[in-house]
């Protein structure tokens, strides 16, 4: 590590899409010497590299909707604004609902979303099947469709922000593991890494599923659990979706979207337990994901599995992120996105930069996402977790 890297004005820990966005926005905001540290040899190899790349406005909580309203335009307009290519398919999110009780909740949520300015359509099962031919319409009582939702390339956005960060003067270092955050007298002093110590008055925790472990090194308790999620891609098959619409079975959390000549799909488990193990659970894939896939989208019966992998969600008790300050002065948190980190990463980087330069987040009011909400018992409810 060079002498220049022995000190920084801001250290960002974690080279996924959230960390890369933070590094860019901090450097662009003129916060001084920004250093992004990633322990892997490449950026975006953790949760970012395993995610499905979806972005949506269809959330049940206002703060998640507001984050999406600020962040999605930054994804969709990334290439035009920055001149860096980014694959984006804005073909919508389609939530499929199986029961009348659940449908009533989705209709109510759609009303709240519309009141916040979100475009959302209520569709019959037949209309949903016309939108994405092949859906087993008979399983469902209704669906909601967000035409402004879609998918984008997680690796492309991560590398794009890293490129912008470098252009703005940030130093991006891979292959450097942060061992602990150093604090004294209630404030950050820097980080200790496997390559040496870096002094800095501000450290941003963007360590994804490992954020709780990092926070604990300076005495901050961050209620976050790593939850493994399996993802499957198929080869080409007859009647593969022609659109890149992200389809979700709300009851099971099963989702799919077009990926290359086939589809990408995944599903949570009601029996999932915290773990850092990203070994694919082939039994769960064969006994749960694939049968659900065929039930929801019968043409998948003719598809062959091309690849299986496993990534980690970083789940908080209320399935909302922690954004902002911690009890240790100068130690900032951008963690616990519970499956929504990719889509909210652009605006979160901007919010962290605002906190550093202006003293508070201004683009979106994220006061409800402070760490101390857990101690106060003021959790934020999100029903639309995929």
Could you tell me if 183 and 202 are in contact, meaning their C-beta atoms sit under 8 angstroms apart?
no
pLDDT score of 164: 99
Q: 3: pLDDT confidence band, cut at 50, 70 and 90? A: very low
251-295: pLDDT as tens digits: 999 999 999 999 999 999 988 999 999 999 999 999 999 999 999
Q: Residue 11's beta-bridge partner residues?
A: 35, 203
Tokens 């709780």 belong to 212
Question: Taking 90 as the threshold, does the pLDDT of residue 386 lie above it?
Answer: no
Q: What percent of the chain has pLDDT over 90?
A: 96
Q: 80: pLDDT confidence band, cut at 50, 70 and 90? A: very high
pLDDT score of 270: 87
Q: What are phi and psi of 268, to 5 degrees?
A: -80, 165
Whole-number Å distance between alpha carbons of 151 and 19: 20
User: What SS3 class is residue 260?
Assistant: coil
3-state secondary structure 207-250: CHHHHHHHHHCCCCCCCCEEEEEEEEEECCCCCCCCCCCEEEEC
- DSSP label at residue 156: H
The arithmetic mean of pLDDT across residues 51-57, rounded, is: 96
Q: 59: pLDDT confidence band, cut at 50, 70 and 90? A: very high
User: What SS3 class is residue 385?
Assistant: coil
The arithmetic mean of pLDDT across residues 186-210, rounded, is: 98
Question: Taking 60 as the threshold, does the pLDDT of residue 381 lie above it?
Answer: yes
Whole-number Å distance between alpha carbons of 207 and 106: 33
Question: Taking 50 as the threshold, does the pLDDT of residue 384 lie above it?
Answer: yes
Whole-number Å distance between alpha carbons of 42 and 57: 30
pLDDT score of 153: 97
Whole-number Å distance between alpha carbons of 173 and 372: 32
Whole-number Å distance between alpha carbons of 323 and 21: 14
The pLDDT mean for the chain works out to 97
As to burial, measured by CB atoms within 10 angstroms (0-12 exposed, 13-18 middle, 19+ buried), residue 138 is exposed
For the chain, domains (ranges, CATH) are 3-51+154-224+318-376 (3.50.50.60), 90-148+225-315 (3.30.9.10)
Question: Taking 90 as the threshold, does the pLDDT of residue 383 lie above it?
Answer: no
CA angle 112, 115, 119 (to 5 degrees): 90
127-149: pLDDT as tens digits: 999 999 999 999 999 999 999 99
pLDDT score of 216: 99
Residue 63 makes CB contacts below 8 A (sequence gap 6+) with 320, 364, 365, 366, 368, 369, 380
Question: Taking 50 as the threshold, does the pLDDT of residue 4 lie above it?
Answer: no
User: What SS3 class is residue 352?
Assistant: helix
305-350: pLDDT as tens digits: 999 999 999 999 999 999 999 999 999 999 999 999 999 999 999 9
């Amino acid at each position: 590590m060079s002498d220049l890297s022995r000190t920084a004005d801001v250290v960002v820990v974690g080279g996924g899409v959230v960390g890369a966005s933070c590094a860019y926005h901090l450097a662009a905001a003129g916060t001084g010497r920004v250093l992004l540290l990633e322990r892997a040899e490449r950026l975006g190899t953790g949760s970012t590299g395993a995610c499905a790349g979806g972005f949506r406005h269809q959330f049940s909580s206002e703060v998640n909707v507001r984050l999406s309203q600020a962040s999605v335009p930054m994804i969709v307009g990334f290439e035009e604004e920055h001149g860096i290519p980014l694959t984006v398919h804005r073909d919508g999110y389609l939530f499929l609902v199986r029961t009348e009780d659940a449908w009533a909740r989705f209709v109510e949520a759609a009303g709240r979303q519309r009141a916040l300015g979100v475009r959302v359509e209520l569709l019959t099962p037949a209309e949903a099947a016309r939108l994405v031919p092949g859906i087993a319409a008979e399983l469902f009582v209704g669906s909601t469709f967000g035409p402004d939702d879609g998918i984008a390339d997680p690796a492309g956005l991560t590398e794009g922000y890293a490129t912008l960060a470098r252009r703005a003067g940030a130093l991006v270092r891979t292959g450097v593991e942060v061992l602990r955050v150093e604090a004294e007298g209630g404030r950050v002093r820097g980080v200790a890494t496997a390559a040496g110590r870096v002094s800095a008055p501000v450290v941003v925790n963007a360590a994804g599923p490992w954020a709780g472990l990092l926070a604990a090194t300076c005495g901050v308790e961050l209620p976050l659990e790593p939850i493994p999620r399996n993802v499957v891609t198929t080869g080409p098959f007859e009647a593969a979706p022609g659109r890149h619409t992200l389809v979700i079975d709300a009851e099971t959390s099963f989702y799919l979207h077009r990926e290359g000549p086939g589809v990408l799909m995944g599903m949570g488990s009601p029996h999932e337990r915290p773990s850092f193990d990203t070994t694919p659970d082939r039994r769960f894939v064969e006994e749960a994901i694939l049968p659900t896939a065929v039930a929801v989208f019968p043409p998948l019966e003719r598809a062959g599995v091309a690849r299986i992998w496993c990534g980690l969600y970083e789940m908080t008790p209320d399935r909302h992120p922690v954004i902002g300050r911690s009890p240790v002065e100068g130690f900032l948190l951008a963690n616990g996105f519970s499956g929504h980190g990719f889509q909210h990463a652009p605006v979160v980087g901007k919010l962290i930069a605002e906190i550093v330069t202006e003293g508070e987040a201004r683009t979106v009011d994220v006061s409800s996402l402070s760490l101390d909400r857990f101690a106060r018992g003021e959790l934020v409810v999100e029903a639309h977790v995929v």
